[in-house]
Amino acid sequence: MPGAADPIKTSPAESASKPHEPLFRPAVLKLAAVVLLVTVVPVLTIVILLFGSGAATTAIFGVLVGMLNIVLGGRNTAFAASFALIIMAPISVMAGLNPVTGAAVMAISCLAIGASAGWGLQRGLSMLPLAIAFLIISPPAVSNTPTDRISTPYLLTVVAIMAISSLIPVIVLTFLLRHKELPKPQRNNRADSIEYAIIISVTTSVAMFGVLAIHPSPYSFWLLLTLIAVVQVGPQASLRKTIQRASGTVIGGAVAAVVVILIPNSTVLFAIGMLMLLVAFNFIGSTRYWLYIACMTPTIVLTSGAPAAASTDVARVSYTLIGAALAIVAFAISHVFRTYKASRSHSNNAATTQGA
């Protein structure tokens, strides 16, 4: 099961207004349990019955695209994102054959997400390049069709998986949330939106090229996941989130390692992983982003099964730290450019004033 970027961004003002926020929120946990039961479980069951257990991990991305966009962007945005994923699915699978093509697909998809930042839709839509990255790096294994990136039957199977996993949550949640007042997207200023679009498209395309050219392992997906998660609109938000994500991943990885050593049973580990997923939902929208990541990391590690859990744990921590470092370097370069541009503008204004 993949990790997800935190879908709710909390502003400093909101953080200051919630100093006594409870650690566990019963209403959120109850809603998360309902969503799991009526959305995630039925979708995964259908996908596993039709396409085998190997397709379940990929289906999670479709669920995230549909589920988070209807909550954060509304029904129309969710349907648009779902259909975009369905259309991009076969293109993404084929793009994994060549590092340049894979990097180009990531750059185009992230530029589109960056453009949406002006309307405040990037939080939910960021799940789209996340799903695309996973399909480029690690296309699903299905039971009845050989994994072949250029096979028409296989590509149609991937399209079917994405259609089922993304559209069902949108339809179900449209009905369940019909009487709920959902948060309105917050618009971002033009300068921050352009900077966000450039940084996320450049960093993810470079990372994708490196992954496909050097080490095209399923584990390397977490490098892309980290970049998409930590690069936010505005440098201060990105730096804060990068530090919290890195620390949360290290803590969660340590917890997962202890659990794997004490309980080397795949079934039990999977059950504990799903429990950690439920707890992670509790921290969505909370000021404690590091706790959200600390819970999501064991979810991913433990649901990978006992044989693969140890290597999964090490890989997730390693790639997360690399991605965090890459994001910090990108924003440092951007900060230098901003400072230089501001100083030039100040000098020009001063010269104009003296000339007048």
Could you report the per-residue pLDDT of 141-171, keeping only the tens digit for each? Answer: 898 788 899 999 999 999 999 999 999 999 9
Average pLDDT over residues 236-241: 69
- 207-218 CB burial, b ≥16 within 10 A, e <16: bbbbbbeeebee
Instruction: Decide if 9 contacts 68 (C-beta within 8 A).
Output: no
Checking if the pLDDT of 9 tops 60, the result is no
**What distance in Å separates the CA atoms of residue 317 and residue 307, rounded to the nearest whole number?**
18
Instruction: Decide if 118 contacts 193 (C-beta within 8 A).
Output: yes
pLDDT of residue 331: 80
Please compute Rg for the chain using Cα positions: 21
- 49: pLDDT confidence band, cut at 50, 70 and 90? very high
Average pLDDT over residues 119-128: 86
Q: What is the DSSP string of 93-158?
A: HHHTT-HHHHHHHHHHHHHHHHHHGGGT-HHHHTHHHHHHHHHHH-PPP-SSS---TT-HHHHHHH
Which of 279 and 31 is assigned the larger pLDDT? 279
Checking if the pLDDT of 199 tops 60, the result is yes
**What distance in Å separates the CA atoms of residue 105 and residue 96, rounded to the nearest whole number?**
10
Instruction: Decide if 78 contacts 66 (C-beta within 8 A).
Output: yes
pLDDT of residue 354: 65
**What distance in Å separates the CA atoms of residue 84 and residue 89, rounded to the nearest whole number?**
8
- 320-329 CB burial, b ≥16 within 10 A, e <16: bbbbbebbbe
- 27: pLDDT confidence band, cut at 50, 70 and 90? confident
Q: pTM for the full model?
A: 0.79
Instruction: Decide if 117 contacts 199 (C-beta within 8 A).
Output: no
Nearest to 315 by CA among 221, 234, 229: 221
pLDDT of residue 309: 57
Most confident of 6-20, 35-49, 176-190, 272-286: 35-49
Nearest to 173 by CA among 68, 275, 87: 68
How confident is the prediction for the chain on average, in pLDDT?
Answer: 81
pLDDT of residue 96: 95
Checking if the pLDDT of 3 tops 60, the result is no
Return the domain boundaries, the chain: 27-189, 234-347
- 80: pLDDT confidence band, cut at 50, 70 and 90? very high
Residue 118 dihedral angles phi and psi, to the nearest 5°: -60, -30
Would you say how long the chain is, in residues? 356
Checking if the pLDDT of 140 tops 70, the result is yes
Which of 220 and 97 is assigned the larger pLDDT? 97
pLDDT of residue 149: 94
Checking if the pLDDT of 349 tops 70, the result is no
pLDDT of residue 68: 80
Most confident of 62-66, 215-219, 337-341: 62-66
Average pLDDT over residues 320-336: 82
* Residue 187 backbone class (left: φ over 0; alpha: ψ -120 to 50; beta: rest): beta
**85-117 confidence digits (pLDDT tens):** 999 999 999 999 999 999 999 999 999 998 898
Q: Is the dihedral of CA 88, 219, 331, 282 positive or negative?
A: positive
Which of 159 and 19 is assigned the larger pLDDT? 159
Q: Is the dihedral of CA 181, 276, 245, 16 positive or negative?
A: positive
Average pLDDT over residues 190-214: 91
User: What percent of the chain has pLDDT above 90?
Assistant: 25
